[in-house]
Amino acid sequence: MHKILIANRGEIACRIIRTAERMGLETVAVYSEADAESPHVRMATQAVLIGPPPAAQSYLRVETLIDAARKTGADAVHPGYGFLSENADFAQACADFGLIFIGPPPSAIRAMGLKDAAKRLMRQANVPIVPGYQGDDQSLDRLTRAASAIGYPMLIKAVAGGGGKGMRLVEDADGFSDALLAAKREAERAFGNDGILIEKYLTKPRHVEVQVFADSHGNTVHLFERDCSLQRRHQKVVEEAPAPGLPDAMRTAMGEAAVTAARAIGYVGAGTVEFIVDVADGMGEDGAPFYFMEMNTRLQVEHPVTEMITGQDLVEWQIRVARGEVLPLLQHQLPRRGSAVEVRLYAEDPDNGFLPSTGKLTRLVMPAARTGVRVDSGIEEGGTVSIHYDPMLAKVIAHGPDRATAIDRLIGALDETVVEGVRNNRAFLARLIGHPAFRAGAVDTGFIERHRADLAPSAELPERLVALAALALATPKTRVVSTSPWQALGDWRLNLPSRRRIDLYAADGARFPLVLTARDTGTTIEGLDRTITARGRWTSDLQFSADLDGDLIHATVLSAPGLVEVRSGGQMFQLLLSPPGTDRETVQDSDGKVRAPMPGRVLSLSVQPGQWVTRGARLLVLEAMKMEHRLDAPADGTVTAVHVTEGAQVAGGVLLVEIVADA
């Protein structure tokens, strides 16, 4: 093997290219017209344009991909995840054209492709499955009988379903036949296969999956488990390894069941056996019942947590297995160290049903590299999140000697992450993993729904963060010399004028009239419940470290006109520099051009070309950093041009409205 074509895009394409290069292999990236500027295209040795933006016309075209491999002299294909990764016909086509498919044999993909057949196979292999019916007889009569035997609540699943689609919960017998017919219609439409299976609905499940690996010499191992219980709309949001609170005996039993499952289908390569764990009666010392759910015959999105606890590179393992080598390590040689937690940073709106958000990434700052923190991303500032692909922006992963350390490191990394231009779940993720119940390991798939109220942004403003914001505003950014924030604290300098007044306002209008006085001992901040003595300095462009009465706080501080945002410990607070509602931003040239003061989205537009306006009249409302900013006419005059529409995403400084002032 010397050259790998990566039949994928985004972060996973970048991640595969990195390992391939380290192994001295050449790479071929493929890209749609929407991805011409994407990082994976630049990173690969070569790149081939494969079609228009819709995946069906590019990333899902088997012939085009095979053609690209042949033209570029690639001798292997890595499918990544999603797209064609679990398509047996693609794996077969690669083999037919003499290309090494870096994945399992087509027969193994087929065996696990349909949920009913997979479950029957597992039952034969003595792998526990959720009580249910997976038969071929799909008559209403047979299914109704099966349903009453299983009992309610129950779940109807499309046998060809995936990604959380095609599932229906049925609460009682009355609802069964209607739900069944609807589910079959839906399945036929979505998957071209109306086959369904039914199974007992577990009221409090945990999603625990086991990473398996097999080579072509008969060795099969597992690389421990991952807990992916934190889901929204049946899709994973947070993943971790090992699963918190799992007794060792259960870990071993699950690992063995997963290896049995892989062996039963003659598996080769990387795979994941997903189990559902019934924790309705808690997780006892002996564990809890677990059942096979399905097997994913590819690399998973969440594989980095396994890499971090085992110190292995799973893409390297895949490549070595595909080259016919034996597994790099056998079961007893596999280490398991510490804990790792991953979050998926999505362009979506957690406050609005997690609806995906699209647009240009006007700003993207990922956390700085440091011990125990890994960022897998395939998009950069200036890139566009389009409707054509999954809205995942990046994965942020942290590892630590124990779970608490991993969580703290991940929260720190999320505090530093800045995404502007698209709505995103950064703040939500930080609150989620900072939640006491998550810290306690009390996870199950109902977690996010159950804790929804706690996961909403906090309205309470801690006074010390108000003090920190004021101090940051009063402290000029000097060149950063030290890399460690705490080391930098040794080097304080008084940058403040001796006395300065700063008024800050909360979104609800609460006012903090602060007086900062520079003294030899530090800066005193008056105007809060108690006077605080503080020292602080910028440790990087966005990071501010402060000592507040002996408390060391490291925060990310972002400022925009009229607004300062402070993030610390996973919490985010915004403060206004003038009372809410009075904030009228205009960035104008002398010639009446109104520009966006910061990147944002046009929420509403109040003027049209030709309209006469008076000074101070509302032109439009821009939403930026989750706050609304009203942009007003800078002078009496006539609107000559409006360059945006409602809903448009604009970059900072963009020309919005032009006005010719009255003479």
Region 164-183 residues binding ligand ADP, contact defined as CB under 6 A: 164-165
Minimum distance of ligand ADP from residue 77's CB (angstroms): 24
* 8 or 231: CB nearest ligand ADP: 231
Minimum distance of ligand ADP from residue 200's CB (angstroms): 6
133 binds ligand ADP (CB under 6 A): no
Can you count the helices (H) and strands (E) in the chain? 18, 41
Helical axes 176-191 vs 140-150, angle rounded to 10°: 120
Which residues have a Cβ under 8 Å from the Cβ of 86 and sit 6 or more positions away?
109, 113, 296, 297, 298
* 163 or 616: CB nearest ligand ADP: 163
**Spatial distance between the Cα atoms of 392 and 370, rounded to a whole number of angstroms:** 23
202 binds ligand ADP (CB under 6 A): yes
Whether residue 242 is preceded by a cis peptide bond, meaning omega within 30 degrees of 0, is yes
The token duo for 417 is: 């992450």
Site map for ligand ADP, 402-441, x if CB under 6 A? ----------------------------------------
Closest CA relative to residue 187, chosen from 146, 156, 153: 156
* 35 or 116: CB nearest ligand ADP: 116
Phi-psi region of 217 (alpha: psi -120 to 50; beta: other; left: phi over 0): alpha
* 164 or 609: CB nearest ligand ADP: 164
Tell me if 200 sits within 8 A of 151, measured CB to CB: yes
**Spatial distance between the Cα atoms of 657 and 613, rounded to a whole number of angstroms:** 12
Beta-bridge mates of residue 85: none
294 binds ligand ADP (CB under 6 A): yes
Q: Output phi, psi for 79, to 5 deg.
A: -90, -5
Tell me if 427 sits within 8 A of 457, measured CB to CB: yes
Which amino acid is located at 349 in the chain?
Answer: D
Which amino acid is located at 391 in the chain?
Answer: P
CB atoms within 10 A of CB 182: 12
Dihedral (C-alpha) 238, 239, 245, 250: value to the nearest 10 degrees? 140
Minimum distance of ligand ADP from residue 599's CB (angstroms): 35
- Total number of residues that touch ligand ADP (CB under 6 A): 21
Region 204-233 residues binding ligand ADP, contact defined as CB under 6 A: 205, 207, 231
271 binds ligand ADP (CB under 6 A): no
* 215 or 274: CB nearest ligand ADP: 274
Indicate if 298 belongs to the active site: yes
556 binds ligand ADP (CB under 6 A): no
163 binds ligand ADP (CB under 6 A): yes
**Spatial distance between the Cα atoms of 595 and 654, rounded to a whole number of angstroms:** 5
Contact range with ligand ADP by CB under 6 A, out of 2-10, 95-103, 200-208, 463-471? 200-208
Q: Which CA distances in Å does 319 have to 95, 98, 130, 272?
A: 16, 16, 34, 17
Minimum distance of ligand ADP from residue 208's CB (angstroms): 10
31 binds ligand ADP (CB under 6 A): no
276 binds ligand ADP (CB under 6 A): yes
Pick from 155, 301, 373, 392 the residue near ligand ADP by CB under 6 A. Answer: 155
Q: Where are the alpha helices (DSSP H) in 265-311?
A: 303-310
293 binds ligand ADP (CB under 6 A): yes
Which residues have a Cβ under 8 Å from the Cβ of 317 and sit 6 or more positions away?
213, 270, 327, 328
Closest CA relative to residue 545, chosen from 415, 435, 426: 415
7 binds ligand ADP (CB under 6 A): no
Pick from 10, 79, 161, 421 the residue near ligand ADP by CB under 6 A. Answer: 161
201 binds ligand ADP (CB under 6 A): yes
Contact range with ligand ADP by CB under 6 A, out of 105-113, 153-161, 610-618, 632-640? 153-161
Pick from 54, 131, 162, 441 the residue near ligand ADP by CB under 6 A. Answer: 162
Contact range with ligand ADP by CB under 6 A, out of 193-201, 387-395, 406-414, 615-623? 193-201
532 binds ligand ADP (CB under 6 A): no
Contact range with ligand ADP by CB under 6 A, out of 69-77, 158-166, 173-181, 569-577? 158-166
**Spatial distance between the Cα atoms of 573 and 575, rounded to a whole number of angstroms:** 7
Contact range with ligand ADP by CB under 6 A, out of 202-210, 302-310, 464-472, 475-483? 202-210
Contact range with ligand ADP by CB under 6 A, out of 7-15, 163-171, 317-325, 333-341? 163-171
Q: Output phi, psi for 304, to 5 deg.
A: -60, -30
* 199 or 313: CB nearest ligand ADP: 199
Whether residue 304 is preceded by a cis peptide bond, meaning omega within 30 degrees of 0, is no
Contact range with ligand ADP by CB under 6 A, out of 160-168, 476-484, 503-511, 600-608? 160-168
CB atoms within 10 A of CB 294: 22
Annotated active-site residue in 61, 206, 232, 298: 298
Tell me if 159 sits within 8 A of 149, measured CB to CB: no
258 binds ligand ADP (CB under 6 A): no
b/e sequence 421-437, b meaning 16+ C-beta within 10 Å: bbbbbbbbbbbbbbbee
* 199 or 215: CB nearest ligand ADP: 199
274 binds ligand ADP (CB under 6 A): yes
The token duo for 416 is: 């530093």
Q: Which residues are catalytic?
A: 298
Which spans of this chain sit near ligand ADP (rule: CB under 6 A)? 130, 155, 157, 161-165, 199-202, 205, 207, 231, 234, 274, 276, 293-294, 445
